[in-house]
Structure 1
Amino acid sequence: MFRWSEIKAHFKIMNPYIAFGFILFFAGLVVGGTNSAFSDYLEQQLRALGSVAESLDNAENPTLAFMVFIFLNNAIKSIFIIYIGAVFGIIPIFFLVLNGMVVGFLLQHVAETQGTGDMLTVVLGLLPHGIIEIPAIVVACAYGMKFGVLLLKAIGRIVIPGKEAGKSGREIEYFMIRSVPVVVILTVALLVAAIIESTVSVWVSSL
């Protein structure tokens, strides 16, 4: 299950879904940065994040509080999104687009209100997102979409029985087995991202 060759081989199978995931995220980023129709909703999302950050900042050990919150928030969401993809892969698609929109709106808002100097600080602060978190979330959503596709195929084969009627069970079983190492890898990656974001990113933002 945890052989690197098998993990690598399955990642190759997942490449189309991962590529589609990045397309969805960047499409959301463009929409969030250019379409004012969603500004009220996105501002509400950022305000909610701001209130959480403020409460964590008042904790006895803010760095540890930020690290634990960021890690648990991202890890739980990523694992959840893989398996909630069973709902025809719809929720992972929505999750990717929404995250892209929030990042796009944030960058556009900072550029408009605070100028390019603060934009650089924000970009540096977002580096853990770009290098580790975003790819991890995209991979999780890609697996969620794949799970949705497998279940759609299974339903189709039940409705229209044929020679491949028993194939869906084997495909889903194989997918579930291969998803376990991915969950472990994503959890480790998101822990590293949480450590960086709660230390380096906070330091950069304070400059």
Structure 2
Amino acid sequence: MKTEIKLIDYLSTRRSIPAFQLGEPGPSRTEVEDMLKLASRVPDHGKLAPWRFVVYRGEGRRRISEAMAKIALADRPDLSEEMVRVENTRLTRAPVVVAVVSRAAPHVKVPEWEQVLSAGAVCLNLIMAANAHGYAANWITEWYAFDPRAHALLGVEPHEKVAGFIHIGTPTVPPTERPRPELSEIVTWVGDDG
């Protein structure tokens, strides 16, 4: 039975797990669909849905990873054996990987920047949805998020951009905390007399 947690407690302890520390079991197709429904509930000025999802599961993840590794090797033929292994496993680190693809474009009423922010909100919502289903997740953008040659393999159209790859699975190690910024370093108060 899953333990219920208050939202404030969740937000005060939320932590990403590195993708290579995510293993089986991964979410079922039904669970992924539920996560995507929750992820879609974000601010979206103009109701444009300026983003979409590409879900990578099963054997296809290996084939795409290996094809992307060939691109990486073509660009950097001196890659170490370890880095070749890394490139060959880009989409197989976690049982499920979801690309959040931004379709932001000029619009008569909705600034493109707001559409991009909406895609970012989808990424965070997807992480929280995965956590709510009892899984861990990590939001990653690496070279292949920005490479048109990789986009062709990943199902990303030329006019689209990758907001992030969300890796989802079961943590193989306990999460660890990392330093967070001090509020005094990131907050400016204006017009507050208290």
- Structures share a fold, TM > 0.5? no
Q: TM-score, normalized by length of structure 1?
A: 0.23
Write 1 or 2 for the structure with the bigger share of helix: 1
Q: TM-score, with normalisation over the residues of structure 2?
A: 0.24
Which structure shows the bigger proportion of residues in strand conformation? Answer: 2
